Amino acid sequence: MPQEHIEEYLEAIYDIAGKKGTAKTTEIADRLKNAPASVTEVFQRLKMKGFVRYEPHKGVSLTTKGYKAALKMKRKHRLLEVFLDKMLHLPQEYIHEQACKMEHTLTDETETALCKTLKGPAQCPHGSPIPPCNLDVKNCQECLAEQTTSLEKREKDIIAITSLKHGEKAKIAFVRGGGGVMQRLCDLGLTNGTEISLLRAAPLHGPVEICVRGCKLVIGRGIAEKIFVQKT
Amino acid sequence: MDVDLVIALAGNANVGKSSIFNQLTGLGQIIGNWPGKTVEKAEGMLLHHGKHIKVIDLPGIYSLSTYSQEEIVSRDFIALEHPDVVVNVVDATALERNLFFTLQLLEMNTPLVIGLNLVDVAKKKGITINEKKLQKILHTPVVPTIATKGIGVHEIVDKALEQTSRPPPEKNHAIHYGPEIETRIEKLERALTGVSIGYPLRWTAIKLLEQDSEIVSKVSEKHPDAIVAAKILASEISQIHKEPCATVIASERYAVAVRIVKEAQTIKESEKPSLTERFDAFSMHGIYGYALMFVIMLSILMFMSLFGGWLSETIQDLFESIKPGMSGFWGELLWNGGVVGFYATLSIALGFILPFYLILGFLEDSGYLPKIAYLMDRPCHTIGLHGKACMPLLLALGCNVPACVGCRIMETKRDRFIAIFLSTLVPCSARTVVILGLVGVYLGFQWALLLYVFDFALIFLIGRALNRFLPGMSVGIIMEMPPYRLPSGTVVIKQAWNRFKPFLLAALPLIVLGSIIIETMRLTGVLALVSDALSPVTVTWLGLPAFTGFLFIFGILRKEAALVLLMSAAGTTDIRSVMSPVQMIVFALVIMIYVPCIATIAALIRETGWKRAGFITFVEIGLAIFIGGFTFRILTVIM
C-alpha cells in the first residue's frame, strides 16, 4: 500500500474520531469515497503496522503511533495552506486540495524551513490550529534565530494546555509565538518546567482556568493553544 | 502643607493596596475583590507621630516589564518619581508569584517595606509564613497585616520611617543569577559607567539584557554602543539556554522566589475541596454557571424595578398628602418646581440609585465579577473584545464615567476604544431610573425588560461593527482569578455611600434648580418656544409631546433629570395623563441611547481625545433619533 494512501486514511480517522474516540467504517468510507469493504481491508493493514486499533463492527481508533503520524500530516497540510495563501495568494477554495496533494511529498527538512519562512504560524487560513513541531526548542524565537536546520528532535511528547483533561497536571515545555504575551506569561510564573494543572475550560472554545504556583489564572483560548506542556 | 515623607503602595493586583490606603488616609478609594479596579494613582495624607506623610496608592503591577497601561503608571512612579519608601504589599496566599515583583524592586535598590497582607486568609488555607526568616533573607522589614481589619497597617508606616533614617543599601544580595549571566551583567555595567539615566546601574544593565524597550530607547540616546553590547551579550545568554534572555532572567528570578518560599513558608494541605472551590466549580460550570449569571442579573433588575417603583410611589404619596393649597404663579413655581423636583429626585435616589450601588458593591466584594469575565470571554470575542472588558461594562451599569476610565485594563488601543464606546451604551443607573421609573412603573416590568434586551442587542451589533471596521484583533485574556470572599457589610455600605455622595451633592441641587427653571419657563411660555424649535424632531419624527424637546437637552447634564423634569414640564406626576404608552417607550428608548451625559463626554475626551469622543457622541445621537423614529412608527401599528 502506498505511503500516501496510509497518510490519507490516518488523517481521515483523526478528523472523524478525534483524539480519543472511534470512527465508524462507513464514516471513513464516505469521507474517502471508497467502498466499505476496501476500507475494512485497509484498517486491517493499518492495524498490522501498529497505527490503529480496529475491531470489526466497533470502529477504528488511532494508537499513539498513528496519532503522532496523523498530527505530523496535519501540521504539514496546514503549513502548506498558509504558504499557498500568504505567499502565493492563491484562492481560498483552491488551497485545501492543493495542500492535500503536496503534503505527502514534503520532507521534514522542508517542513521546518517552511515553518521558519512563515515565522511559525499558529493557525491555518481556515482557523484550525497547527500542531507544534517535534524539534527540541523551548520557543519559536530560538528556532527563528537559528541559521541552520540542525536542531535536534525533541524526545518528549508535548500537547497544548487545551488538550489536558480537567484536573490533569503537566509541565510547561514550549511557548509558541513571542513578544509581550510570552513575556507576560513568564512574569506570571509560566516559565519552562513549571508545573501547572488545568482546572476547567469554558464551553465552545472559551478560555481555560489553570493553577500555577498556587494562583489561578484565566487564559484565553487563542493564547492557551500556544502553550505546550509535557504530562507528568 | 509640608510633606515630610512620600510612601507608595505597590504590588500585584488585588492584594489589598487600596484597603491599606483607605485605612491609612481615611479616604474612600473604591475597593473590591477583582483585579484592575485601581487604574489611576490616588493620593492621601496621613499624620503619623507628628509627621505629614503623603501616601500614594498605585494600580496593581505584576512585573516591571509592563503589559497594560495601568502598570506603566505604577512603574513610572516607582522608577522616576523616587518615593521615599515603597511599601510592597504582598499576598500571603500567593507568596511565590508576589515575590517575583518584590525581587525586581530589590534590584532597583528602592527603599522597601514589605506588607505581608491577607495572613488571615493564608492561615485558613493552611499556609504559615515565618516573617522573621523572610525578613532576614530579603534584608527588608516585613510586617504581617490584615488590611480589611486595619491590623498591622500603622506598623508599616513605623517601619517606613525607620527605613528612611537608614542609608540605602549599597548592593542587595537577595538575588544572584547564574555565573553565565552575572559575568555579562558586570561587563555591561562596566560599559555603562558614566552614563546616568536615573536608574541604578545594575538594574539598567539587567533591563538592557532583557531588551526592555523603554530602557533601551532611554539608553540609546546617550550611549548607543551599550545597546549593541547588550544585544550581543543577550544573544550569548539565549544561546546557552536556548531561550530568549528575558525569559531566562524571569526563570532565574522565579527560581530564587521558589527557594525563598521553601525556606520561609510551610503548608498544611487540606484533602477535601473547600467550600469556595465547590462554589467555583458551580458558578463557572458550562451550563449552571451561565444559568446562575442569568438568574442573578434578572433578579437584580426585577428587585430594582419592584422596590424602586414601590418606594418612589410611597415618597410621592407622602409629599402629595401634605401638599398645602398653593396657587398663583409663585405658589405653582414653588410647588411644581421646587418641592416636586426635590421629592422626585429623592425618590429615584433612594428607590433606584442607592440600592443599585449596594448590590454592585456586594457583587464586587464577593469576587463574582471575574467569574463573569471568564464566562463571557468567548461571547466577547464576537464583538472584538475579551472577557476582561465585562468588568468595566458591568461597572457602567452604575455609572459610565468610572467605566470609561476602567477600560484602561484593556491591553491594546483598539480593545480600549471598543470597550469605551460600548460602555457608554450600557444603561447606567440614571438611565435605569428612566426605564424602570417610567416604563417599568406605568407599563409593567416586561416592557422595561424588553428595553434592556434591546439595548444589549444594540451593544452587540455595534461591537460587531467596530470589530469589523477597526484593524487588528484582540490579544486575548490573561487574568488572575481571585477566590470568593464573604463581602463585609461595612465595606459594601461605605462603598455605596462613596459612590452615592457625589449624586446627592451634585445632582440633587442641579435637578431642583433645573425643575425650577423649567417651571418658570412653562409658566412664562418660554418652554413652548424652545419646544417648538425642536418639534420637527421630537413631534414630527419621534411622535413625542412637544414639551419633551427641552428635556433631551437638559438630559445631557443628568439623564435621571429627564424623568423628574418630565413631571415638572408636564405639570403633573401622573405621566399617563400626558403620554401614551408608545410615547413612554420611545422617550425611554431615546434617553437610553442618545449622547452620553456631560460627565461621560468629559471622561471620553480625557480617555480617547476630542475626535473619538465626538465620533462616539454623534453616532449615538444619530442612532437614538433613527431608532426612536422607527420604533414609534412600528409600535403605533402594533399597539
> Using CA atoms, how far apart are residues A223 and B2, in angstroms rounded to an integer?
49
Cell of B6: 512620600
Could you tell me where the DSSP H helices lie in A23-126? Answer: 25-32, 36-48, 64-82, 92-102, 108-117
On whether the CB atoms of residues A219 and B478 are closer than 8 A, the answer is yes
Domain boundary among B138, B165, B192: B165
**Residue B326: per-residue pLDDT:** 63
Range of the domain at B555: 288-474+495-638
Pick the CATH number of A3-62 from 1.10.10.10, 3.40.50.80, 3.90.76.10, 3.50.50.60: 1.10.10.10
CATH architecture of A67-131: Orthogonal Bundle (1.10)
Nearest to A189 among B96, B244, B246 (CB): B96
**Residue A156: per-residue pLDDT:** 65
Mean pLDDT, all residues of chain B: 85
**Residue A149: per-residue pLDDT:** 45
Cell of B55: 501616601
Nearest to A181 among B62, B475, B479 (CB): B475
Whether B482 maps to a domain, the answer reads no
Write the CATH number for B113.
Answer: 3.40.50.300
**Residue A144 touches chain B, beta carbons under 8 Å:** no
Cell of B540: 414630527
Contact B238 A217 (CB under 8 A): no
* pLDDT (tens digit per residue) in A182-197: 888 888 988 888 899 9
User: Residue for cell digits 524571569?
Assistant: B250
Between the CA of residue B185 and those of B120, B176, B177, what are the distances in Å?
40, 11, 9
- CA B583 centroid distance within chain: 35
Within chain A, strands assigned E span 52-55, 59-62, 159-160, 169-175, 195-201, 208-212, 215-219, 227-231
- CA B331 centroid distance within chain: 45
On whether the CB atoms of residues A120 and A83 are closer than 8 A, the answer is no
**Residue A148: per-residue pLDDT:** 47
**Residue B85: per-residue pLDDT:** 92
On whether the CB atoms of residues A172 and A192 are closer than 8 A, the answer is yes
Task: Provide the CATH number for the domain formed by A159-231 in this structure.
Answer: 2.30.30.90
Between the CA of residue B9 and those of B6, B230, B428, what are the distances in Å?
10, 32, 32
User: Residue for cell digits 417610567?
Assistant: B438
* pLDDT (tens digit per residue) in B394-438: 888 888 888 888 888 888 888 899 999 999 999 988 888 888 888
Pairing of strands A159-160, A59-62: unpaired
B62 contacts in A (CB within 8 Å)?
184, 187-188
A138 contacts in B (CB within 8 Å)?
242-243, 247
* pLDDT (tens digit per residue) in B515-541: 788 778 777 878 778 888 888 888 888
**Residue B309: per-residue pLDDT:** 77
Whether B276 maps to a domain, the answer reads no
Same domain? For B364 and B293 the reply is yes
Stretch A4-18: mean pLDDT, rounded? 83
Query: Please, which residues have CB within 8 angstroms of residue B128's CB and are 6 or more apart in sequence?
Result: B122, B265, B266, B267
**Residue A128: per-residue pLDDT:** 81
From A118's Cα to the closest Cα of chain B, the distance in A is 19
Same domain? For B235 and B298 the reply is no
Q: CB-hemisphere CA count at 13 Å for B337?
A: 19
User: Residue for cell digits 507628628?
Assistant: B50
Interface list for chain B against chain A, based on CB atoms closer than 8 Å: 62-63, 65, 67, 93-97, 100, 235, 238, 242-244, 246-247, 250-251, 254, 281, 284, 286, 370, 373-375, 377-378, 386-387, 411, 475-481, 483
Question: B63, B6, B11: which is closest to B38 by C-alpha?
Answer: B11
Whether B283 maps to a domain, the answer reads no
User: Residue for cell digits 475583590?
Assistant: B33
Same domain? For B227 and B365 the reply is no
For A214, name the nearest residue in chain B, comparing CA atoms only.
B94
Contact B250 A187 (CB under 8 A): yes
**Residue A151: per-residue pLDDT:** 54
Whether B484 maps to a domain, the answer reads no
Residue B151 DSSP symbol: B
Same domain? For B234 and B310 the reply is no
Contact B246 A183 (CB under 8 A): yes
For A205, name the nearest residue in chain B, comparing CA atoms only.
B378
**Residue B305: per-residue pLDDT:** 77
pLDDT cut 70: percent of chain B above it: 96
Contact B377 A207 (CB under 8 A): yes
Same domain? For B97 and B127 the reply is yes
CB atoms within 10 A of CB B2: 5
What does the domain layout of chain A look like in residue ranges?
A: 3-62, 67-131, 159-231
Nearest to B480 among A178, A200, A216 (CB): A216
Concatenated DSSP letters of B339-393: IHHHHHHHHHIIIIIHHHHHHHHHHHHHT-HHHHHHHHHHHHHTTT--GGGHHHH
Contact B246 A218 (CB under 8 A): no
Same domain? For B113 and B140 the reply is yes
Listed as own residue / partner, the contacts of B19-26 with beta carbons closer than 8 Å and 24 or more positions apart are B19/B147, B19/B148, B20/B87, B20/B89, B20/B115, B20/B117, B20/B145, B20/B147, B20/B153, B20/B156, B21/B55, B21/B57, B23/B147, B23/B150, B23/B153, B24/B55, B24/B153, B24/B154, B24/B157, B25/B55
> Using CA atoms, how far apart are residues B209 and B203, in angstroms rounded to an integer?
10
**Residue A178: per-residue pLDDT:** 66
* pLDDT (tens digit per residue) in B460-474: 999 999 988 888 777
Concatenated DSSP letters of B523-562: HHTHHHHHHHHHHIIIIIIT---TTHHHHHHHHTT-TTHH
Same fold across A3-62 and A159-231: no
Whether B278 maps to a domain, the answer reads no
Domain boundary among B234, B267, B300: B267
- Say which amino acid occupies B58: L
**Across the beta sheet with B112-117, what order do the strands follow?**
B42-48, B51-57, B5-10, B85-91, B112-117, B142-144
Write the CATH number for B212.
Answer: 1.10.287.1770
Q: Is the pLDDT of residue A14 over 80?
A: yes
CB atoms within 10 A of CB B269: 6
On whether the CB atoms of residues B617 and B601 are closer than 8 A, the answer is yes
Mean pLDDT, all residues of chain A: 83
Q: Is the pLDDT of residue A155 over 60?
A: no
List residues bridging with A23 in a β-sheet: A60
> Using CA atoms, how far apart are residues B481 and B35, in angstroms rounded to an integer?
8
B244 contacts in A (CB within 8 Å)?
139, 141-142, 178, 182
Contact A207 B374 (CB under 8 A): yes
Question: Between residues B521 and A201, which one has the greater pLDDT?
Answer: A201
* pLDDT (tens digit per residue) in A35-78: 888 888 888 888 888 888 888 777 888 888 888 888 888 888 99
**Residue B272: per-residue pLDDT:** 65
From A9's Cα to the closest Cα of chain B, the distance in A is 34
**Residue A166 touches chain B, beta carbons under 8 Å:** no
Stretch A189-213: mean pLDDT, rounded? 89
On whether the CB atoms of residues B557 and B428 are closer than 8 A, the answer is no
**Residue B307: per-residue pLDDT:** 85
> Using CA atoms, how far apart are residues B549 and B527, in angstroms rounded to an integer?
9
From A179's Cα to the closest Cα of chain B, the distance in A is 10
**Residue A153: per-residue pLDDT:** 59
Contact B378 A184 (CB under 8 A): no
**Residue A154: per-residue pLDDT:** 60
Contact B63 A200 (CB under 8 A): no
Residue B568, helix vs strand vs coil: helix
Concatenated DSSP letters of B164-202: HHSPPPS---S----HHHHHHHHHHHHHHTT--SSS-HH
Q: How many domains does chain B have?
A: 3
> Using CA atoms, how far apart are residues B279 and B282, in angstroms rounded to an integer?
5
Question: B559, B340, B595, B552: which is closest to B433 by C-alpha?
Answer: B559
From B281's Cα to the closest Cα of chain A, the distance in A is 8
List residues bridging with B151 in a β-sheet: B146
For A216, name the nearest residue in chain B, comparing CA atoms only.
B481
Enumerate residue ranges in chain B where pLDDT < 70: 1, 167-174, 195, 270-273, 324-327, 336, 569, 571-573
**Count of pairs with CB atoms under 8 A, one residue in A, one in B:** 132
Nearest to B286 among A137, A202, A216 (CB): A202
Whether B396 maps to a domain, the answer reads yes
Q: Which residues of B520-552 are buried (b: 16+ CB within 10 A; e: fewer)?
A: ebbbeeebeebbeebbebbbebbbbbbbbbbbb
On whether the CB atoms of residues A227 and A161 are closer than 8 A, the answer is yes
